[in-house]
Amino acid sequence: MSDFVLTEEICEELARTAKQKSRALGVGITFSVSDENGNLRLLQRFGDAILPSLEISPKKAYTAAVLRQSTAEFGRIAQVGESAFGINVTNDKLVIFGGGFPLQIKGKTLGGIGISGGSVAEDEEVAQAVLGTFAELAR
C-alpha cells in the first residue's frame, strides 16, 4: 500500500498495543513513534517505566527510522572491530541496543518505534507486538 500514512490515530493504536503487551509482561515502558526523518510523533510512558526510558525510547525510534534498520542490527556493526565502531559517540541520538524498529511497508520506511524501560528482551517483545499491529493496519 503506497499511500499509507502514519497518522495520529495509527500512532495511538500502536501505543495501545505497546501498553497492553507491557502490562501483560508486567513491565513499565516508554513508547515512542517517529516519522521517517526521526522526528518524534508520539511519546507515552506506561506503568512505572524507569525515568531514563523517557530519553532512550525516542532515540531508539529515531535510530530505527533514519538508519532504516533495528537498533539491535545497528548495534552489531557498532561493536569494536566492526565498520561503524564508535558512531554512537559521534551522534548522541543513536542507540546501539535492541528495542527500536523501523516501520516499513514494501521497503519504504514510514517511521520508527522505540520501546525502553524493560530489559532489552522485554523491550523487543513489546516491539514485536507493535510491529504485528502495524502490519495489520498497513494491509
CATH class of the domain comprising 8-137: alpha beta
More confident of the two residues 2 and 126: 126
How would residue 1 be classed by pLDDT, with cut points 50, 70 and 90?
A: very low
H or E segment at 31? strand 29-35
In terms of pLDDT, which residue wins out, 86 or 13?
13
Summarize pLDDT for 15-50 with one digit per residue, the tens: 999 999 999 999 999 999 999 999 999 999 999 999
What is the average pLDDT score of the chain? 94
Whether the pLDDT of residue 101 is over 70: the answer is yes
Q: How confident is the model at residue 2 (pLDDT cuts 50, 70, 90)?
A: low
The three cell numbers of residue 90 are 559521534
CA distances for 110 relative to 3, 10, 46, 94, 126, angstroms: 11, 12, 24, 18, 19
pLDDT tens, 61-86?
999 999 999 999 999 988 888 888 88
Classify 10 as helix, strand or coil.
helix
Residues listed for the chain: 139
- Res 110: pLDDT: 97
Q: Quote the pLDDT of residue 79.
A: 85
- Confirm whether pTM is higher than 0.85: yes
Query: Higher-confidence residue: 91 or 8?
Result: 8
Q: What's the 3-state SS for 94-134?
A: CCCCCCEEEEEECCEEEEEEEEECCCHHHHHHHHHHHHHHH
The domain limits of the chain are 8-137
Q: Is 82 left (phi over 0), alpha (psi -120 to 50) or beta?
A: beta
Q: Which cell numbers in the block locate residue 47?
A: 506503568
Find the angle CA(60)-CA(64)-CA(68) to the nearest 5 degrees. 170
